[in-house]
Amino acid sequence: MSDEVRNLEPTELWNFFADLNAVPRASKKEEKIIAFIQHFGQKLNLETITDAAGNVLIKKPATAGMEKCAPIVLQAHLDMVHQKNENTVFDFDTQGIEMYVDQDWVNAKGTTLGADNGIGVATIMALLAATDATHPPIEALFTIDEETGMTGAKGLQPGWLKGKLMLNLDTEEDDEIDIGCAGGIDITVNATYTPEKAADNYLSYIVTVTGLNGGHSGLEIHKGLGNANKIMNRILYHVQSLGLRINSVDGGSLRNAIPRESKAVISIPDTNSQAFENSINQISQIIKSELACTDAGLIITALKTNPADNWMPQQLQLSFLKCIYAAQNGVYAMSHVVPNLVETSNNLACVAAGNGQIKILCLTRSASETAKTDLAQSIQSAFELMPAEVTLSGSYPGWQPDANSKLLKHVTAIYTQLNKQQPKIVACHAGLECGIIKSKYPLMDMISIGPIIKGAHSPNERVHIKSVQKFWVFLNEILKTIPEV
């Protein structure tokens, strides 16, 4: 299936993308992809260095006549989000992504595609390998672990980069130029309990929530997509009056992905089993109706299973359900500065409970540092009432827009000339690395661009073929017209 992708135009870019997707590259498991990029730079006889964090920097001299132009940093991240459908048999640690072409799109078979940010990485590789491109001095910066903490960008040392301009290639609309992004903070909830032995006169069920679209917890948080953890909690809360006892809950897997699936093992007194099944059908129809426009594929099931051997203490169970109900999920506040931009949000990303352990993960985002902290502390307060130990960590800054950026004006003029219309100048509700890099290189002028990518962080991820072609032409035109220093 990768062969049809390799034959797309521009072939050099798509071939590097296919090469990348043959290499497992989960966040925090980037050893193979780091070695791959190092070998790539060394094979081209370009200066290739790696810092203590694992970021790789490849330097390419200017082409003839461009030596006096401003050096430019081209930046993308090496890791990708690993998500798959429940019925997809796939080992991300050993297998390459299985791609296919569907009309105007490149997709993956039951998994995330890795276009975020593999298309950006492949684009930079194609420029580094090109012998016919015109460009200023290039510093190609490949960062690690963008998706689960941005530790690569955080580990950058001041002075390592010499470029005064930077193009981040990690946005997902080809008619936009991004000049700002949200910051974020991780919320981790931990609690322990002593399981109680299950009683004999109970029937056990596996309750599942599947078929949701999921997606990027920043860029798609405004769409009102169903959150499997919130839906599961609503279902269990709805039936608790029937004598519900929870054995386990397992929903979501990554902080930055809207959870698509959740599974719970629960028990109900055998005398209430029919009432339970009727109640499940009732709440399922209500939720499906509410999400008919955003998640038409939602499936909720409750099937009898082998009796559970233990369950959560009843008082803790009630606190558990109430705290998750109380925790903010989705859009919290819209920007008063940028029209239609989400300012602050939270993703209730992962809920796992069972065998005496509870762990809940959230990612709170905001363009405002104070609003980010305020919402995180609000969620922290709710879960501490469980009671639970709540840790706030991994905070990273947003990227404040600079409407007077000289690079922005240059790139806007190029886009307008090529496409006969002006681009949209935007800020996004995602965690681009620009904010962190800007904090270390405050004088660096930067923007972010990219092709059309839909469904990032979910198995629905796909990239638009003609948009990649448009992006490639745009980027090359920017580089060949960079002004002299």
Residues 228 and 307: their CA atoms lie apart, in Å, by 24
Phi, psi of 202 (to 5 degrees): -125, 150
Counting DSSP H helices and E strands in the chain, the numbers are: 12, 25
Distance, CA of 108 to CA of 102 (rounded, Å): 10
Q: What is the rounded distance in angstroms from the CA atom of residue 239 to the CA atom of residue 356? A: 22
C-alpha 80/C-alpha 16 separation (Å) is: 15
- Catalytic residue among 30, 116, 139, 146, which? 146
DSSP type of residue 351: E
Between helices 11-20 and 31-43, what is the axis angle to 10°? Answer: 140
Q: Look up residue 327 and give its DSSP letter.
A: S
CA 92 centroid distance within chain:
16
Using the 8-state DSSP alphabet, how is residue 271 labeled?
G
Strand duo 72-77 + 138-143: pairing: parallel
Q: Which token pair is 389?
A: 């130990």
91 belongs to the catalytic site: no
Q: Which residues pair with 303 in a beta bridge?
A: 206
Q: 79 an active-site residue?
A: yes
- CA-CA distance, 283 to 290, in Å (whole number)? 11
DSSP letter, residue 223: G
Q: Give the residue carrying structure tokens 């276009």.
A: 115
Instruction: Give the three-state DSSP class for 93.
Output: coil
Cβ pair 458, 210 in contact under 8 A: no
The rounded distance, in Å, linking the Cα atoms of 324 and 321 is 5
Task: With H, G, I as helix, E, B as strand and everything else as coil, classify residue 13.
Answer: helix
30, 79, 139, 343: the active-site residue: 79
Q: Per the omega criterion (within 30 degrees of 0), is the bond before 10 cis? A: yes
Q: Where is 247: in which H helix or E strand? A: strand 245-251
The catalytic residue positions are 79, 146
